[in-house]
């Protein structure tokens, strides 16, 4: 199936995004990404942010660039920055940029307390932070209020690694943001015609995102 669609996402907000056949740290979810089932719970939030048209997008835990490059394709005028601690992701991100003909900036370091200092001034700019960083999202509470006030957040919550993450971020962001908690949903193979000829156990396996537990996301928009 990957060859038939040339590793291009077939549905969802990033339809047409070309992905490398080999991922940075896990190849298990590439089929889910190509089918457009991967994290589809947050598709509505993604589309809302695309409509909001942020000036700056910061993707922490960017891996091969599914979100960073997907958003850059939809918002070519936005400045997109990525950060990941896994050096194996760097050449894969570069390849994904090349395949899609777009450019994002990979940061060598990222400090929540001083986001993008020395790189770009966030003063007067609207920003979107997309965070999937295995608990490191807790440091959002270290961000300057001046940056938080003009920023939206789509955060994968990792309470399984750092208990209390959701409550901590809710307490910090609630005064300034409208917040939605989004729960992981069960995938149905019948929703994906590409899987019609496969036996259900195989189709279900291809949709599996191989998570340690049921996930939640936090979507926060300035009030």
Q: Domains (ranges, CATH) in the chain? A: 39-190+211-222 (3.40.50.150)
What are the φ and ψ backbone dihedral angles of 70, each rounded to 5 degrees? -60, -45
Q: For 152-208, how does the pLDDT look when each residue is reduced to its tens digit (9 = 90+)?
A: 999 999 998 899 999 999 999 999 999 999 999 887 777 778 777 777 766 676 666
- Integer Cα distance of 64 and 75 in angstroms: 18
pLDDT at 6: 62
Cβ proximity of 57 and 79 under 8 Å: yes
- Integer Cα distance of 20 and 12 in angstroms: 18
Q: Which H or E run includes 178?
A: strand 177-183
Q: For every one of its 223 residues, what pLDDT tens digit does the chain have, with 9 covering 90 and above?
A: 444 446 899 999 999 999 987 665 555 678 888 888 899 999 999 999 999 999 999 999 999 999 999 999 999 999 999 999 999 899 999 999 999 999 999 999 999 999 999 999 999 999 999 999 989 999 999 999 999 999 999 999 999 889 999 999 999 999 999 999 999 988 777 777 877 777 776 667 666 666 666 789 999 999 9
pLDDT at 218: 98
- Taking CB atoms within 8 Å and a gap of at least 24, the contacts of 203-212 are 206/31, 206/32, 206/35, 207/31, 207/32, 207/35, 207/37, 208/28, 208/32, 209/28, 209/29, 209/32, 209/38, 209/39, 210/26, 210/28, 210/29, 211/184, 212/160
């Amino acid at each position: 199936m990957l060859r038939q669609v040339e590793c291009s996402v077939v549905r969802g907000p990033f339809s047409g995004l070309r992905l490398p056949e080999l991922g940075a740290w896990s190849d298990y979810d590439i089929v889910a990404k190509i089918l457009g089932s991967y994290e589809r719970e947050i598709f509505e939030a993604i589309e809302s942010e695309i409509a909001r048209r942020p000036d700056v997008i910061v993707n922490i835990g960017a891996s091969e660039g599914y979100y960073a490059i997907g958003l850059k394709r939809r918002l070519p005028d936005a400045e997109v920055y990525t950060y990941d601690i896994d050096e194996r992701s760097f050449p894969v991100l570069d390849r994904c940029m090349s395949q899609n003909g777009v450019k994002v900036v990979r940061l060598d370091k990222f400090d929540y307390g001083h986001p993008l200092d020395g790189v770009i001034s966030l003063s007067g700019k609207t920003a979107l932070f997309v965070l999937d960083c295995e608990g490191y999202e807790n440091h959002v509470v270290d961000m300057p209020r001046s940056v938080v006030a003009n920023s939206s957040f789509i955060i994968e919550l990792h309470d399984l690694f750092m208990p209390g993450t959701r409550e901590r971020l809710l307490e910090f962001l609630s005064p300034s943001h409208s917040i939605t908690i989004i729960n992981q949903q069960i995938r149905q193979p019948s929703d994906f015609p590409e899987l019609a000829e496969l036996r259900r156990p195989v189709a279900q396996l291809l949709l599996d995102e191989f998570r340690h537990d049921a996930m939640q996301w936090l979507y926060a928009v300035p009030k």
